[in-house]
Amino acid sequence: MTAVLCLQRLARREISASALLDYYLTAISSRNRELNAFLHVDETGARRQAQAIDHRRAKGERLGPLAGLPVAIKDNICTANIPTTCASRILKDYIPPYDAHVVNRLREADAVIVGKTNLDEFAMGSSTENSAFGPTRNPIDPTRIPGGSSGGSACAVAADFVPVSLGSDTGGSVRQPAALCGVVGLKPSYGRVSRYGLVAFGSSLDVVGTLTTDVADAALVLGVIAGPDPRDSTCLRESGEDYFATVEQPLTDLRVGVPREFFAAGLDSEVEQAVRTSLSIYERLGAKLVEISLPTSPHALAVYYLVATAEASGNLARYDGVHYGSRITGTNLLELYEKSRGAGFGAEVKRRIMLGTHALSSGYRDAYYLKALKVRRLIKADYDAAFQRCDVIAGPTSPTTAFALGERANDPLAMYLADIYTIGANLAGLPALSLPCGKSQAGLPIGFQLTAPVLQEERLLRAARMLERQLRAKP
């Protein structure tokens, strides 16, 4: 069931919030051991929330727009009195005393918080294999990865554990797993959704996003979590919109930009065929395809892994066993730091901290970090120029379908290339969305990505819904 259908049935009292929750808890208990999508299920707390909503509904009280809807939260988003581990040993015992802003908004909307989903440690990865608590598996084919870093959140929706989950997207961490699991992943504009309570990885890149069954659900949930928050200085003052009210309205005279750089070497032929088929659907709907160029995009991967690791190096310095994190004592303070961080962080997190520290070190900062910031401005300028000629930009979400567990575990560069089409939107602060557009011969989902100008989520969602309706109408 989609979130919209769940809410309709709840409003008509065809099903209670408690019964709906039981349905999903049963699904979780039957298959989560195999898939490892959830790290923590707050069954007691969720039942308490669902029962309270049923009681209020029976009394005729006014309820929020998500009343009774089960929602999962990525485990790098703080939840009061529920563990938030970031899938790391260094935070294995951390229970926040407060809710993140997005969790507050969900609770105010009367959503039911089911639990916390698995991720690559501190959201650093593209496969959810870097979790300290074991990898998540793709529900379509459990021998394959679900994508990352929000792999647990994508898996939870694809496996029908919940109709909606929240993730975070620093370089594609919502859209890439959405593509590989066959669900819809939305990354809003930077600043559209508050980052208060999101454990920081790359502060100028991180965005809270949604994973849902369809585009209408994404529009509904974004309308709840978006909007200003004085606790986050990077959150924009513009209020969120009722995206759900307009999502079914097709766009007229739509211009779809197709970057020639997105259809070069490295793109799987089945992925390309599915994406081009989707582009032809837009043409049949009256849209105009416009060939565009993003000439700086070949440098985006290098820029991202300099900017993101530099920011991670500073953000993760606080986890030292003294300020935050599990502590292993030593004979002196330096030894305490070394032991605590050495045992607490996994290999990928250590790799990125070291890369970022090196990029910021004396003698290298100008050559690496500052140069990356200059190229980042050029990438943003490429998008600005492209949007003078088109309304949205389309292409593949991932260059391949889901690969096998362990296939790239010892090849970091090959793993990083999984984000080659998604990182540009993060570097430029743009809203982007991935929706399923077909399957490979092996039955693996293929994702189609749309990107819109900053703060044009309404346009993005309407354009995506146009395509989605046609794809789902196909026999």
pLDDT tens readout for residues 266-309 = 999 999 999 999 999 999 999 999 999 999 999 999 999 999 99
- The alpha carbon of residue 342 and the mean position of all alpha carbons in its chain are separated, in whole angstroms, by 28
Integer angstrom CA distances of residue 185 from 82, 172, 212, 370: 25, 9, 7, 31
pLDDT at residue 475 is higher than 60:
no
Catalytic (active site) residue 288: no
Domain with 40, as residue range(s), is 3-246
Which one of 16, 88, 149, 340 is the catalytic residue?
A: 149
Identify the residue whose tokens are 């779809």.
256
Which one of 126, 168, 173, 313 is the catalytic residue?
A: 173
Domain count, the chain: 1
Question: What are the tokens at 266?
Answer: 């490295």
Residue 253 lies in a domain: no
Identify the residue whose tokens are 């993003």.
294
SS3 content of the chain, % helix, strand, coil (to 5): 45, 15, 40
Closest among 210, 15, 215, 214 to 105, alpha carbons compared: 210
Residue 472 lies in a domain: no
Q: What percent of the chain has pLDDT over 70?
A: 100
Residue 94 lies in a domain: yes
End-to-end Cα spacing for the chain: 20
pLDDT confidence of 409, banded at 50, 70, 90? confident
- CATH number of the domain to which 134 belongs: 3.90.1300.10
Task: Report the pLDDT value the prediction gives residue 412, as an integer from 0 to 100.
Answer: 87
Catalytic (active site) residue 173: yes
Residue 325 lies in a domain: no
Taking a C-beta distance cutoff of 8 angstroms, is the pair 405, 130 a contact?
Answer: no
The least confident of 57-61, 194-198, 361-365, 373-377 is 361-365
pLDDT confidence of 250, banded at 50, 70, 90? very high
Average pLDDT rounded to a whole number, residues 36-60: 98
Q: Give per-residue pLDDT as tens, 308-347.
A: 999 999 999 999 999 889 999 989 999 999 999 999 999 9
Task: Report the pLDDT value the prediction gives residue 413, as an integer from 0 to 100.
Answer: 86
Interatomic CA distance for residues 163 and 344, integer angstroms:
33
pLDDT confidence of 446, banded at 50, 70, 90? very high
Q: Give per-residue pLDDT as tens, 90-105.
A: 999 999 999 999 999 9
Closest among 121, 43, 137 to 84, alpha carbons compared: 121
Average pLDDT rounded to a whole number, residues 129-155: 98
Task: Report the pLDDT value the prediction gives residue 212, as an integer from 0 to 100.
Answer: 98
Residue 82 lies in a domain: yes
E-only strand ranges, 131-250: 164-169, 184-187, 207-212
pLDDT confidence of 239, banded at 50, 70, 90? confident
Integer angstrom CA distances of residue 152 from 35, 324, 348, 403, 409: 9, 25, 18, 16, 18
Integer angstrom CA distances of residue 389 from 277, 300, 341, 465: 22, 21, 49, 22
Q: What percent of the chain has pLDDT over 90?
A: 94
Average pLDDT, the chain: 96
Catalytic (active site) residue 149: yes
Closest among 203, 208, 170 to 186, alpha carbons compared: 208
Residue 12 lies in a domain: yes
Residue 410 lies in a domain: no
Task: Report the pLDDT value the prediction gives residue 240, as an integer from 0 to 100.
Answer: 74
Residue 381 lies in a domain: no
pLDDT at residue 474 is higher than 70:
no
Which one of 16, 74, 88, 126 is the catalytic residue?
A: 74
